[in-house]
Amino acid sequence: MKYVGEDRVAPTGAPQEELATGERSTRNRVARSILDHGPSTVAELAGRLGLTHAAVRRHLDALVADDVVQPREQRVYGARTRGRPAKAFALTECGRDAFDQSYDQLAVDALRWIAEREGGDDAVLAFARARFAEQAEGYREAIEAAGPEKRAEALAKALSADGYAATARSAPVGEQLCQHHCPVVHVAEKFPQLCEAETEIFSRLLGTHVQRLATIAHGDGVCTTFIPKASPASAPPAPQLAPQLSTTTHKASARTAGRNPA
């Protein structure tokens, strides 16, 4: 088996893309070997993967720099040999998160259990409202500090810090809040109450009615929320959030008419 860029000579004229792909692929194999076998030394990884020690060290250096693995002193059982014990490399929390997780399915199962045993869709909506109300407390502080003209922009920055990759831009007679990523999209596909509760929170945070135009959970490319323009004099302050929120449902636009509000 050839390993491109691992102290073995790549074919003359090999494209740089191929070299980079080979490096990434083998780096993933190093991390996967640590996942499968636990904290490992350079010698152990080299033996399992058929690489030179120098190649393993190079990949480990890159993985340490990316916070995927971290070195630790290897535990020694029994009598110590002379010299310092070899370092073992273990996955960090960030490194473990890079591999497949079942959090989405766990969340879906939990919400389904709530719906079946605790009051149906209304119970799921109550849970979603309470969750977003707690999450939005930090957003409220940022919005209040920004002032009426910068509320949408402040909310977008706060959402981006939580992984939503949000932006705010001007639109006719208002603004559009766009979320280019949704960390809970797979759960929201099955439980649109999450989108409904989020829309309610946006309305309360911004102190105005908002309209959800599109959601990633419904198959759109971006979650888009329209925020109508309000004059500074008439814009009310962002209210305090409470676990129990208004039951007002914000209808979707004509493009998404007929769907559940999200």
More confident residue, 156 or 239: 156
pLDDT digits (tens, 9 = 90+) for 91-112: 888 888 777 667 888 899 999 9
Is residue 76 a contact partner of residue 86, using CB atoms and an 8 Å limit? no
Judged against a pLDDT cut of 80, whether residue 235 lies above it is answered with no
* Mean pLDDT value across residues 62-73: 91
166 CB-near residues (< 8 Å, 6+ apart): 155, 156, 157, 159, 160, 177, 178, 179, 180
pLDDT digits (tens, 9 = 90+) for 155-176: 999 999 998 999 999 988 899 9
Query: Residue 72, SS3?
Result: strand
Q: Where are the alpha helices (DSSP H) in the chain?
A: 16-37, 42-49, 53-65, 93-97, 103-117, 120-135, 137-146, 151-161, 185-188, 193-206
Q: How confident is the model at residue 227 (pLDDT cuts 50, 70, 90)?
A: very high
Structural element, H or E, at residue 221: none
164 CB-near residues (< 8 Å, 6+ apart): 179, 180, 181, 182, 183, 223
Q: How confident is the model at residue 129 (pLDDT cuts 50, 70, 90)?
A: very high
Give the pLDDT score at 118: 85
Q: Which of 64-73, 120-129, 245-254 has the lowest mean pLDDT?
A: 245-254
CA atoms 105, 110, 111, 113: torsion sign = positive
Query: By CB neighbour count within 10 A (0-12 exposed, 13-18 middle, 19+ buried), where does 13 fall?
Result: exposed
Mean of all residue pLDDT scores within the chain: 79
